[in-house]
């Protein structure tokens, strides 16, 4: 039996970061992965979709080159090379994770790990007989997988999850995306940009249901301008397959019925934790809603067994998993750590337009009993945004009117995913409107809108 | 260039102190290592030495001034041959900065005065910094708005940074009190005529005692366990040990109790603990704090690792520490820490009493007077020397059975003092 100080199960962004931090802290550490280093995020999620969206963005810009004074003849794309580029980038980063683990002397096992009582792991690889590992600290970071729609009884060819949607052979003529969370609207943006007739179906009245309604409304309007059709408050009544096409009967608002026939469906109705086949039943670990129950430092109901990342519950985001993993291992090492503060985890969606946010929405702040001050600044008032040709968007800030605490920030428009960290730092350091007002933002940048939004909340806005 | 002498921090917790006495006069020549003044902190009186040579140019803070913030200038030293006019010149330059000082808004007359003079000789000692309080901007604002002094709040953030949550905790207690008063509609307290009382300003020590014991009594769930101990054998044992008084020690009953407590703590280590939010800390050593009454308050010097020491060592150490405690010359490491406290009021004829725990310790033993009391032995009344001991414990980390087990061991040892030899 091989003994380790720490065993991490799953080498996604949560798992591998935890393993590296564990090694830095002097623990003899191993990590077990059954598919690919870097997990979904790096191989089938965050990163490869950003590569696809970048291609779509370049294509979109080239089609509009004329508005920048550039004439280009025929603009075309080669889907095979777009997908290859995306896969190559994943591969490159996957190798990078392998290098980082090796550099930090983390032992990497390829295979499937199963708990065999507290402290013990049975590792089975395809070609070898099971190996036994033991450790006083086992960290489960097995992530999540797409939630499925089994009642549809459609083949993978017609009903895609993100796995299939990421490696298309051709752009379907028409496409329905079920679900308007980050994954749904990103794929909708990609396929729309490359010419598909895209319809988003959302069961709730608002797309991007977790975002501030005002921001979501602006995003919706922009997406519709790009050509995406959006049906909210939609429930699917019936699904009929005919050759290479699918017909959906939909009930919409006020019980109006609609029939849509498309070539492909992308299911983006969320993800669920990977808690099966882990041998959890051999321990006291408890689960709820397809996730493992933990305390605020990742400890499960079984001493010595921890869980972090998607498998430990929402929000299911790579950056949350990384942070949670670091907290967990540092707590194990006896360091003084603060528990995860979910209200300070930013959200980023890389659709066209981009959306980013942190903290409370205006409504949630009011419902939580705050009296609020709200600032807004539109892209049209920012010189850099106009120079970039990105006139649409908004930066919204929400403050506690009594203390000046920044409660939330919400943005929609070009590159806002690269701006949000400024507000995340501000919230983390507990700045008030005063320090944000006193900060000198560089001119000309999109970030000036963050400043102006804060000024607007206190009736001091300059450029509108 | 004139050099300023700053109020030193004599312990890690010290934020302000009182200038008890100046030992030099203006114009006196001093050299490095000379004692220039005595400072009274929350715990003790200490001597302050100059680290530079020169002439005392000006004493900025007169003797007897209290609440002098750490790192504020208390005197100015002139280098040899330096013109005393430098100070005045500095002062006049300083006038230009006065508005800025006012801007900073010092609410303490003394501090302001110090600040003004401080600027005169500003860059003479670059290595000295004014103490910075780390607090988030939001915490600063919330403290300001709820009238809380950041100096009195301990931070829970990285490196003790004061955060919003710390202010919320600090703001809670007084708010509740205020609410209670207005809701019940108590009549406003009438001004008492000045002659009806004499106001004795709170010394640093008095403020510390007030703050620490209030926190302890408010936040720690106390309960008490009492036992009557027959000290007949102990009295004889003591007589034998001390002999005719020719020896270089004279062991008191209290010394026996200190030693016996340490042994009982070894037998019941669950009683030698401190509560923290994350864990109960079980201490390895028995560092016993002894409550010593001093002028204007009390202090608890520590006998470290008592179980490793003999009775005569313990006795002599207590005498030495108690005597220096009364002189106010204890070093901070001699009274900071400790894992268990003993308080003895027996010499005042007190039969029994309950003490407030010396946080973060888990227990405190209150020792009453040893006295002859009627007891029942073998169905008959008899007279015995009895002493009542009362243990107050922190119920968050010590449960009733643990406290009782400790008292049982302690009683057992004191009633059979030969065990002290083990």
Residues A163 and A206 in one domain: yes
Q: Do A404 and B138 touch (CB under 8 A)?
A: yes
Asked whether residue A462 is assigned to any structural domain, the reply reads no
Residues A265 and A276 in one domain: no
Chain A residues near residue B279 by CB distance under 8 angstroms: none
* Fold (CATH) for B132-180: Dihydrolipoamide Transferase (4.10.320)
Chain A residues near residue B136 by CB distance under 8 angstroms: 429-431
Residues A264 and A332 in one domain: no
Q: What is the pLDDT of residues A170-185, one digit of tens each?
A: 999 999 999 999 999 9
Residues A370 and A306 in one domain: no
Q: What mean pLDDT comes out for the span B114-120? A: 31
Q: Do B139 and A403 touch (CB under 8 A)?
A: no
Chain A residues near residue B141 by CB distance under 8 angstroms: 403-404, 432, 434
Asked whether residue A394 is assigned to any structural domain, the reply reads yes
The CATH number that domain B223-421 falls under is 3.30.559.10
Residues A132 and A8 in one domain: yes
ipTM: 0.75
Asked whether residue A301 is assigned to any structural domain, the reply reads yes
Contacts of A254 (CB under 8 A, 6+ apart): none
Residues A116 and A13 in one domain: yes
Q: What is the pLDDT of residues A212-249, one digit of tens each?
A: 999 999 999 999 999 999 999 999 999 999 888 999 99
Asked if B136 is an interface residue toward chain A (Cβ–Cβ < 8 A), one would say yes
Domain edges within chain B: 3-124, 132-180, 223-421
Q: Do A405 and B164 touch (CB under 8 A)?
A: yes
Per-residue pLDDT band for B40 (boundaries 50, 70, 90) equals confident
CB nearest A434 (choices: B137, B142, B164): B137
Question: How many Å lie between the alpha carbon of A26 and the closest alpha carbon of chain B?
Answer: 22
Residue B13: predicted pLDDT: 67
Chain B residues near residue A404 by CB distance under 8 angstroms: 138, 141
Distance (Å, rounded) from C-alpha B384 to C-alpha B376?
9
Residues A261 and A287 in one domain: no
Residues A49 and A118 in one domain: yes
* Chain A positions with Cβ closer than 8 Å to B: 403-405, 429-432, 434-435
Q: For domain B3-124, which CATH number applies: 1.10.1740.10, 3.10.20.600, 2.40.50.100, 1.20.1250.20? A: 2.40.50.100
Asked if B159 is an interface residue toward chain A (Cβ–Cβ < 8 A), one would say no
Task: Specify the number of domains making up chain A.
Answer: 3
Question: How many Å lie between the alpha carbon of A463 and the closest alpha carbon of chain B?
Answer: 27
Q: Of A342, A368, A384, which residue constitutes the final position of a domain?
A: A342
Residue span of the structural domain in which A436 resides: 353-457
Mean pLDDT of chain A: 95
Q: Of A269, A300, A331, which residue constitutes the final position of a domain?
A: A269
Residues A115 and A179 in one domain: no
Residues A385 and A437 in one domain: yes
The CATH number assigned to the domain holding A305 equals 3.50.50.60
Chain B residues near residue A435 by CB distance under 8 angstroms: 137
E strands in B134-215: none
Q: What is the pLDDT of residues B205-256, one digit of tens each?
A: 888 888 889 999 999 999 999 999 999 999 999 988 888 777 778 889 999 9
B309 phi and psi, to 5 degrees? -110, 150
Annotated active-site residue B395? The verdict is yes
Three-state SS letters, chain A: CEECCEEEECCCHHHHHHHHHHHHCCCCEEEEECCCCCHHHHHHCHHHHHHHHHHHHHHHHHHCHHHHCCCCCCCCCCHHHHHHHHHHHHHHHHHHHHHHHHHCCCEEEECEEEECCCCEEEEECCCCCCEEEECCEEEECCCEEECCCHHHCCCCCCEECHHHHCCCCCCCCEEEEECCCHHHHHHHHHHHHCCCEEEEECCCCCCCCCCCHHHHHHHHHHHHHHCCEEECCCEEEEEEEECCEEEEEEEEHHHEEEEEEECEEEECCCEEECCCCCCHHHCCCCEECCEECCCCCCECCCCCEEECHHHHCCCCCHHHHHHHHHHHHHHHCCCCCCCCCHHHCCEEECCCCCEEEEECCHHHHHHCCCCEEEEEEEHHHCHHHHHHCCCCEEEEEEEECCCCEEEEEEEEECCHHHCHHHHHHHHHCCCEHHHHHHCCCCCCCCCHHHHHHHHHHCCCCCCC
- From A274, A272, A283, select the one nearest A122 (Cα to Cα): A283
Q: Do B137 and A430 touch (CB under 8 A)?
A: yes
Per-residue pLDDT band for B100 (boundaries 50, 70, 90) equals very low
Closest residue of chain A to B164, computed from CA coordinates: A430
Q: Which residues of A are catalytic?
A: 443
Q: Do A403 and B163 touch (CB under 8 A)?
A: no
Residue B107: predicted pLDDT: 35
Q: What is the pLDDT of residues A183-214, one digit of tens each?
A: 999 999 999 999 999 999 999 999 999 999 99
Q: What mean pLDDT comes out for the span A344-362? A: 97
Residues A124 and A9 in one domain: yes
pTM of the model: 0.61
């Amino acid at each position: 039996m091989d003994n380790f100080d720490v065993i991490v199960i799953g080498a996604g962004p949560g798992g591998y970061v935890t393993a590296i931090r564990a090694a830095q802290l002097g623990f003899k550490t191993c990590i077990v992965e059954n598919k690919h280093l870097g997990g979904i995020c790096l191989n089938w999620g965050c990163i490869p979709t950003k590569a696809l969206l970048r291609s779509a963005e370049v294509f979109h810009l080239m089609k509009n080159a004329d508005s920048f004074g550039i004439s280009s003849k025929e603009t075309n794309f080669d889907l095979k090379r777009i997908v290859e580029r995306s896969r190559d980038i994943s591969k490159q980063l996957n190798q990078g994770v392998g290098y980082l683990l090796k550099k930090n002397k983390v032992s990497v096992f390829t295979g499937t790990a199963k708990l065999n009582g507290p402290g013990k792991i049975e590792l089975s690889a395809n070609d070898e007989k099971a190996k036994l590992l033991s450790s006083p600290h086992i960290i489960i970071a097995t992530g999540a997988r797409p939630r499925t729609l089994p009642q549809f009884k459609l083949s993978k060819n017609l009903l895609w999850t993100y796995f299939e949607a990421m490696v298309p052979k051709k752009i379907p003529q028409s496409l329905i995306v079920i679900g308007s969370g980050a994954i749904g609207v990103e794929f909708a943006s990609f396929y729309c940009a490359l010419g598909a007739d895209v319809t988003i179906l959302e069961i709730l009245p608002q797309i991007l249901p977790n975002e501030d309604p005002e921001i979501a409304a602006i995003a919706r309007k922009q997406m519709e301008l790009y050509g995406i059709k959006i049906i909210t408050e939609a429930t699917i009544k019936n699904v009929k397959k005919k050759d290479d096409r699918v017909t959906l009967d939909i009930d919409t608002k006020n019980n109006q019925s609609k029939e849509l026939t498309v070539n492909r469906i992308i299911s983006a109705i969320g993800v669920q934790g990977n808690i099966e086949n882990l041998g959890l039943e051999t321990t006291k670990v408890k689960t709820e809603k397809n996730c493992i129950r933990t305390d605020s430092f990742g400890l499960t109901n079984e001493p010595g067994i921890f869980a972090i990342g998607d498998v430990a519950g929402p929000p299911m985001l790579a950056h949350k998993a990384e942070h949670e993993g670091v907290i967990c291992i540092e707590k194990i090492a006896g360091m003084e750590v603060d528990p995860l503060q979910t209200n300070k985890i930013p959200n980023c969606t890389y659709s066209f337009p981009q959306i980013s946010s942190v903290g409370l929405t205006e409504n949630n702040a009011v419902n939580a009993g705050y009296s609020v001050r709200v600032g807004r600044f539109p892209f049209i008032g920012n010189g850099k945004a106009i120079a970039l040709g990105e006139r649409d968007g908004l930066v919204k800030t929400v403050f506690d009117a009594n203390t000046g605490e920044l409660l939330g920030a919400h943005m929609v428009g070009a590159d806002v995913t690269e701006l949000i960290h400024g507000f995340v730092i501000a919230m983390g350091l507990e700045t008030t409107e005063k320090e944000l007002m006193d900060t000198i933002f560089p001119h000309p940048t999109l970030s000036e809108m963050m400043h102006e939004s804060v000024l607007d909340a206190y009736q001091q806005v300059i450029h509108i | 260039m004139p050099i300023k002498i700053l109020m030193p921090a004599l312990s890690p917790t010290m934020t302000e102190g009182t200038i008890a006495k100046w030992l030099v006069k203006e114009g006196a020549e001093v050299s490095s290592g000379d004692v220039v003044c005595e400072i009274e902190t929350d715990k003790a009186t200490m001597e302050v030495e100059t680290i530079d040579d020169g002439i005392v140019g000006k004493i900025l803070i007169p003797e007897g001034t209290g609440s002098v913030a750490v790192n504020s200038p208390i005197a100015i030293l002139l280098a040899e041959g330096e013109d005393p006019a430098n100070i005045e010149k500095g002062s006049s330059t300083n006038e230009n900065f006065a508005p800025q000082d006012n801007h900073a808004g010092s609410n303490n007359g003394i501090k302001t005065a110090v600040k003004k003079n401080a600027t005169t000789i500003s860059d003479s000692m670059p290595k000295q910094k004014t103490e910075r309080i780390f607090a988030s901007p939001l915490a600063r604002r919330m403290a300001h708005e709820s009238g809380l002094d950041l100096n009195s709040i301990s931070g829970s953030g990285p490196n003790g940074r004061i955060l919003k949550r710390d202010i919320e905790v600090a703001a809670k207690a007084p708010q509740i009190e205020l609410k209670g008063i207005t809701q019940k509609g108590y009549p406003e307290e009438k001004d008492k005529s000045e002659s009806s009382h004499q106001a004795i300003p709170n010394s640093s020590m008095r403020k510390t005692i007030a703050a620490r014991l209030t926190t302890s009594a408010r936040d720690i769930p106390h309960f008490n366990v009492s036992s009557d101990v027959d000290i007949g054998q102990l009295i004889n044992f003591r007589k034998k040990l001390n002999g005719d008084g020719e020896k270089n020690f004279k062991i008191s009953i209290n010394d026996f109790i200190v030693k016996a407590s340490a042994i009982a703590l070894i037998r019941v280590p669950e009683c030698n603990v401190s509560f923290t939010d994350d864990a109960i800390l079980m201490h390895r050593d028995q560092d016993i704090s002894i409550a010593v009454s001093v002028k204007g308050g009390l202090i608890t010097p520590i006998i470290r690792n008592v179980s490793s020491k003999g009775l005569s060592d313990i006795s002599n150490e207590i005498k030495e520490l108690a005597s220096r405690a009364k002189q106010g010359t204890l070093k901070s490491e001699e009274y900071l820490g400790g894992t268990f406290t003993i308080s003895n009021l027996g010499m005042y004829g007190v039969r029994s009493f309950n003490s407030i725990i010396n946080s973060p310790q888990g227990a405190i033993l209150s020792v009453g007077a040893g006295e002859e009391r009627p007891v029942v032995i073998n169905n008959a009344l008899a007279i015995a020397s009895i002493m009542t001991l009362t243990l107050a414990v922190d119920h968050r980390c010590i449960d009733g059975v643990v406290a009782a087990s400790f008292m049982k061991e302690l009683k057992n040892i004191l009633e059979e003092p030969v065990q002290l030899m083990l």
